[in-house]
Structure 1
C-alpha cells in the first residue's frame, strides 16, 4: 500500500463525500478507492468510514485522523513542490470558494490563461454567499468582500470596488433621473434582501454616511437577479461596479448620483494562517493578484 496516496484519497473522500467522486477525480474506479481506504484502515487498526448503500459516514476516529491527514498532505505537496522540476511545474487541485456572481463574472474568465500557464493544476470552484469555514470545509482559498475581521486568516488584497447606484436608460426615461438624495424616495428600488430582511444602502450624504432603506416591489438575495432586474428597467439598485461593469461601459446601465457613493469596498483572497501554502495554491494566488491588478474592476 502506498500510504501517502491512501491518505490523500481519504482526505478527498472526506471532502467529496463519495467514493465515486474521488474515483472520477483521480481517474480510477470506485472499487480501487475503497480498497485503498480499507488497507489504510487495517494499517491504522481503526475504522475511518462507515459504508452504507446511500452515503459515506466519517467516524469519530476518521474525523480526528482527517484533521492531521489534511495538514500532512499539504506539507507533502509543499515538500515535493520545493524540489526538482516540480518547482517549475506545480500540480494538484486548488479548492476555491467565492460568491456565485463574482465567480462567474470575475474569476472564471481568468481561468483559461491560468490553465495555459499551469496545465497540471486543477481548480475546484465552489460558490456560496455565506463565509465558509476554510479548514473545516477543506477550502484552500476564499474570495471575501468587505472589511476583514477573522484574524486567523492570511489575506492578499485583490482589488477595491465602487458601490454604485444604477438604472437602465429605459427606466430613467419613464420615471426621470434623480439629481439629489431626496429624489430616491420617489423612485422604485430593487432591494437586496435575505428572507424578510431588507439590506440598507450605504450612501455618503455630505460628510455623513447614511443608511437608506430602499423600497420596491422586487426583493432578492441573488446579485445576478439584481443585475437582470436593472437591465429589465425594474428600478434603481445599489450594487458593486464589477456586477454591471460591462453594461455600464456599453451604456446599457447608467450610474446615478456619484456624489453619494460610499467608500470603496476591498476584495481579498484569504487562506488559513500558520499553514504551509502548497506551490499550486501559491501560483494561483499570485496569478489572481496580478490579473486583478491589470483589470479595471
Structure 2
C-alpha cells in the first residue's frame, strides 16, 4: 500500500462524499478507491468509514484522522510543487467550462497566446448556460457569472461586468426612444429565460434596486440569440456589455436609459476545494486574470 496515496484518497473521500466521485477525479475505478481505503483502515487499526449501499458516513476516528491527514497532504503538495515546478514546464489536459457566448467572445480569443506560452497544455472547452457539477463532470475550472452560492468551491475573481439596456437604431426609429422605466411597458422586450421562466432585469432607480420582468414575443435561454435578436431589430434587451461591446462602439446598437444601469456583477474562476492545484491549472488561472486586467486598463 502506498500510504501517502491512500491518505490522499481518504481526504478526497471526506470532501467529495462518495467513492465514485473520488474514482472519477483520480481516473481509477471505484473498487480501487475502496480497496485502498480499506487497506489504510487495516494499517491504522481503526474504521474510518461506515459503508452502506446508499451512502458513506465518516466515523469519529475518521473525522479525527482527516484533520491531521489534510494538513499532511496539503503540506506535501506544497513542498512537491515548490520543487517540481522548477524542473518542468506545465503539461497535460485542462477541462474548462463557461457560458457559450462568453467562451466564444472572451475566452477563446485569449487561447492562442496561452498555447504559445504553454505548448504542452491542452484544453477541453465545454460550454453550458447551466452550472455544471465540477467534481461529478470532471471539470477543472468553471467561469461563473454573478454572486457565488456554492461554498464548496474555491474562487478567484476574474473581472466585473456591466449590464446595459440596448436596442438597434432601426427598432428605436420605429417604436420610439424610452426615456424612463415606465416606457419599457410599451416596448417589445427580449427576455432571457431558464426552464421557461423569464429572468427579471435588475435595474437601479434612484439608488434603489428594481426588478423588472420583461414582456415581449421572444424568450430564449441563449445569450447569442439575444444578441442576434437585438441586431435584427426585434426589441430591447438587457445584456452584459461584453456581449454587444463591438456593436455599441460601432453604433450598430444603442445603449438606453444608462441611469438605470445596475451595479456591476462579478465574474469568478471557480475550482474544487481541498485538492492540489496542478501547475497547468495555476498558470491558466494567472494567464486569464492577467489578460482581463490588461483589457480593463
Q: Structure 1 length as normaliser, TM-score?
A: 0.73
* Shift of residue 133, structure 1, vs aligned partner: 1.5
C-alpha separation in 2, matches of 1:221 and 1:101: 12
**Residue 156 of structure 1 aligns with which residue?**
156
**Residue 70 of structure 2 aligns with which residue?**
none
SS at match of 1:295: helix
Whether 2:206 is the aligned partner of 1:203: answer no
**Residue 119 of structure 1 aligns with which residue?**
119
Using a 3 Å threshold, how does the CA distance of structure 1 residues 78 and 284 change in structure 2: closer, same or farther? Answer: farther
**Residue 250 of structure 1 aligns with which residue?**
250
C-alpha separation in 2, matches of 1:162 and 1:187: 22
Contact 1:78–1:278 (8 Å) recurs in 2? no
1:63-92 deviation line (CA, Å, top 9, x unaligned): x9xxxxxxxxxx999887544576551101
Using a 3 Å threshold, how does the CA distance of structure 1 residues 94 and 86 change in structure 2: closer, same or farther? Answer: farther
C-alpha separation in 2, matches of 1:131 and 1:85: 32
Using a 3 Å threshold, how does the CA distance of structure 1 residues 167 and 123 change in structure 2: closer, same or farther? Answer: same
**Residue 189 of structure 2 aligns with which residue?**
189
* Shift of residue 104, structure 1, vs aligned partner: 0.9
**Residue 212 of structure 1 aligns with which residue?**
212
SS at match of 1:149: coil
Superposition pairs for residues 66-81 of structure 1, below 5 Å?
none
C-alpha separation in 2, matches of 1:14 and 1:157: 27
Using a 3 Å threshold, how does the CA distance of structure 1 residues 84 and 233 change in structure 2: closer, same or farther? Answer: same
Give me the CA root mean square deviation: 3.4
C-alpha separation in 1, matches of 2:195 and 2:291: 36
C-alpha separation in 1, matches of 2:185 and 2:131: 33
**Residue 259 of structure 2 aligns with which residue?**
259
Paired positions, count: 247
SS at match of 1:103: helix
Contact 2:85–2:279 (8 Å) recurs in 1? no
Q: Structure 2 length as normaliser, TM-score?
A: 0.73
C-alpha separation in 2, matches of 1:243 and 1:176: 24
C-alpha separation in 2, matches of 1:284 and 1:241: 24
C-alpha separation in 2, matches of 1:280 and 1:115: 11
**Residue 168 of structure 2 aligns with which residue?**
168
Return 5+ residue gaps in structure 1 as ranges: 5-10, 16-21, 23-36, 46-59, 65-74
- List 4+ stretches of structure 1 deviating above 4 A: 75-82, 84-88
C-alpha separation in 2, matches of 1:76 and 1:134: 24
**Residue 129 of structure 1 aligns with which residue?**
129
C-alpha separation in 2, matches of 1:77 and 1:123: 23
Contact 1:91–1:120 (8 Å) recurs in 2? yes
Moved more, 189-198 or 217-226: 189-198
Using a 3 Å threshold, how does the CA distance of structure 1 residues 133 and 76 change in structure 2: closer, same or farther? Answer: farther
**Residue 69 of structure 2 aligns with which residue?**
none
1:96-146 deviation line (CA, Å, top 9, x unaligned): 111111111111000000000000111111111111111121111110111
C-alpha separation in 2, matches of 1:235 and 1:209: 23
